[in-house]
Chains A and B, each alone.
Chain A
Amino acid sequence: MMPMRHGLMLIAPLALVLAGFFLIPVLMLLPTSFGEYLPGSGVVKGVWTLENYTRIITDEYYREVVWRTLGLGLFVTLVCLVLGYPLAYLIARGPERWRLPLILLVIFPMMLNLVVRSFGWIALLANRGLVNNLLIQTGLISAPIKLMFNLTGLMIGMTHIYLPFMVLMLVAAIRNVPRDVEAAAATLGSSRLHVFTSVTLPLSAPGILAGSILVFVLTISALVTPRMLGGPTYKVMATLIYDEYMQLLDWPSGSALSFALTAMAIGIIWLSSRLTKQWAGMA
């Protein structure tokens, strides 16, 4: 057994860095979120208000941005599930020799720089981008359709960015389903579809939930892709926070939004862990 003194000495350096450069800065943001901001002169000293938080719910524009963020998270999660499951199933249950190349082709875009991937989607979706060029050349449309700076662009781009996370979580989940249970159901006369819906799908449900939560939280937290594909006008919560800080210099409002976004992310994670525990209790 290692003495506690040695253990503390080993943990202390990292704990101090995280306390000083993560915990304390985040806690110091809390008073800012109750401050009042006057355009031109900054934060008013000695005045405390809840207005930065109430505005997120009462102000129509803020509310729209919050709903858009949540809706985007939900949509991206569902599409990632639908697109990711067949691929994950092929990786988990397909021919052995395909497994490694397929996994590497899933990991590769995931490891690639986020700005590079988002830039790729700009080259595809812009008014003079590849998709519009192709559609005009083939005569399907006469004027470019708007695929960027709106919901369509964000949905396509973010589905692409977070799909690899979903696939990897689903592969692990499907591989956890015992093959002999599937084989037994098949032997007992179940059709392939029935084996899938009555055995594989329910038994991989915890992994589906974990992957969905991961993709949802990543999507609502994302800044880079929404900014690059949504531009300065089509905003989600993270890009709104960015603008409150960088353009408007309204730190109180930006920090309140930051805590709202954090609460949403942590709330979802907490809910899902409750759900997982309940499932484990039922089994």
Chain B
Amino acid sequence: MSTDGETHPGLGVTIAAFAVIVFLQVPVVVVILAAFSTTSYLTIPPQGLTLSWFGKVLSDPTYLSAIRMSLILAFGSTAISLALGVAAAYALFRRSVPGSEAIISFLMAPLVLPAVVIGVALLQFFSLTGLRGSLVGLLLAHVVITVPYIVRSALASLSGLDLAVEEAARVLGATGFEAFRLVTLPLIRPGLVAGALFAFITSLDNVPVTIFLIGANQTTLPVLIFSSVEMGVDPSVAAVSTLLIVATGIVLLLAERRAGFHRFV
């Protein structure tokens, strides 16, 4: 159709768009180059190539314990958020409680408040209750910032669902929980995978809440990078960043293959 061709992007738009795509990848490429460079500041062309920064990171107990702490928090808070968030979203979807609009707003509120405000509010709260530096406190703080993503994706997935399927399972003798687990849950799984991935990444990414709550000998990977950059640029930061870049790339591609991730963004 010739008229349809009129609404296709022209050459100018295409070139501008590709320039923006390049702009988006530039810092990523620079970090990876810096990780293999022998000099502490990156030059073009690189002065020499080395793997020593990776060795340094992977044998540094500070980095290793920060990575472990980050993974504990990310896996732990995502699991708790999934359990609590899906349960709440399911009850809201079944319209079993009045005022569901207001409840949804409340569950989403942590997304609206600046993270640094949640951070300082919890700092004061943890100081008063003695929770500062405790793993339980940190985990629940991460649940607060990750659960909106779970609730949102669960509600979106459930809204496309026909209640009749679950009712049919009930008629055939399944209990309420069985019907949910065997019928509803598999249907909303792709949406939940995407929501869980968002929750995981949000936890793994977080500095503005975590930095106020960690104890003296605790740190997470992003907080460690954040505070070591204040001391000056260190190529081991580039190396650990490169590890994160590779991990993120692999997870994104897997999520795209398994669940068609981009549809949920």
Interface residues of A (CB under 8 A from B): 1-4, 6-8, 10-11, 13-15, 17-18, 20-26, 28-29, 32, 83-84, 86-87, 89-91, 93-94, 100, 102-124, 126, 128-130, 133-134, 137, 160, 163-164, 167-168, 179, 182-183, 186-187, 192, 195, 200, 217, 220-221, 223-224, 227-228, 232, 238, 241-242, 245-246, 251, 254-255, 258-259, 261-262, 265-266, 269
A124 x B225 contact (CB < 8 A): no
Closest to A84 in B: B20
- Which of A25, A93, A126 is within 8 Å of B41, CB to CB? A126
Q: A123-B238, A186-B7 are in contact. Are A134 and B44 (CB under 8 A)?
A: yes
The 4 closest A-B pairs by CB, nearest first: A120-B27, A7-B96, A221-B114, A186-B6
B252 x A2 contact (CB < 8 A): no
User: Residues of B contacting A107 with CB < 8 Å?
Assistant: 252, 261-262, 265
User: Residues of B contacting A10 with CB < 8 Å?
Assistant: 87-88, 90-91, 96
- Which of A3, A113, A221, A254 is within 8 Å of B222, CB to CB? A113
User: Residues of B contacting A163 with CB < 8 Å?
Assistant: 20, 23-24
User: Residues of A contacting B17 with CB < 8 Å?
Assistant: 86-87, 89-91, 94, 102
Distance in Å: Cβ of B126 to nearest Cβ of chain A: 8
B208 x A120 contact (CB < 8 A): no
| B221-241 near A? 1/0 per residue, CB < 8 Å | 110011001100100011001
A-B contact list, 7 entries, CB within 8 Å: A15-B103, A17-B140, A25-B124, A29-B121, A119-B241, A123-B34, A261-B116
B215-265: which have CB < 8 Å to A? 221-222, 225-226, 229-230, 233, 237-238, 241, 244-245, 248-249, 251-253, 256, 261-262, 265
User: Residues of A contacting B57 with CB < 8 Å?
Assistant: none
C-alpha spacing A88/B46, complex, angstroms: 34
B23-38: which have CB < 8 Å to A? 23-28, 30-31, 34
Q: A3-B96, A228-B229 are in contact. Are A119 and B31 (CB under 8 A)?
A: yes
| B1-34 near A? 1/0 per residue, CB < 8 Å | 1011011111001101100110111111011001
Q: Does B158 contact A (CB under 8 A)?
A: no
- Which of A102, A128, A254, A265 is within 8 Å of B21, CB to CB? A102
- Which of A84, A89, A120, A269 is within 8 Å of B26, CB to CB? A120
B7 x A119 contact (CB < 8 A): no
User: Residues of B contacting A126 with CB < 8 Å?
Assistant: 41, 233
User: Residues of A contacting B9 with CB < 8 Å?
Assistant: 86, 89-90, 93-94
C-alpha spacing A262/B262, complex, angstroms: 31
C-alpha spacing A93/B121, complex, angstroms: 45
C-alpha spacing A279/B8, complex, angstroms: 28
A112 x B94 contact (CB < 8 A): no
Distance in Å: Cβ of B20 to nearest Cβ of chain A: 5
User: Residues of A contacting B106 with CB < 8 Å?
Assistant: 15, 18, 23
User: Residues of B contacting A120 with CB < 8 Å?
Assistant: 26-28, 30-31, 241
Distance in Å: Cβ of A249 to nearest Cβ of chain B: 11
| B88-118 near A? 1/0 per residue, CB < 8 Å | 1011101111100001001101101111111
C-alpha spacing A103/B103, complex, angstroms: 33
Distance in Å: Cβ of A116 to nearest Cβ of chain B: 4
- Which of A26, A89, A128, A186 is within 8 Å of B121, CB to CB? A26
- Which of B117, B230, B244 is within 8 Å of A232, CB to CB? B230
C-alpha spacing A4/B106, complex, angstroms: 19
Q: Does B72 contact A (CB under 8 A)?
A: no
Please count how many residues in chain B sit with their CB below 8 Å of the partner chain's CB atoms: 93
Distance in Å: Cβ of A261 to nearest Cβ of chain B: 5
C-alpha spacing A10/B89, complex, angstroms: 9
- Which of B98, B140, B207, B265 is within 8 Å of A223, CB to CB? B207
Closest to A199 in B: B7
Closest to B85 in A: A14
Q: Does B65 contact A (CB under 8 A)?
A: no
Distance in Å: Cβ of A133 to nearest Cβ of chain B: 6
Distance in Å: Cβ of A96 to nearest Cβ of chain B: 11
A32 x B124 contact (CB < 8 A): yes
- Which of A1, A109, A187 is within 8 Å of B24, CB to CB? A109
C-alpha spacing A266/B244, complex, angstroms: 33
C-alpha spacing A116/B242, complex, angstroms: 8
Q: Does B143 contact A (CB under 8 A)?
A: yes
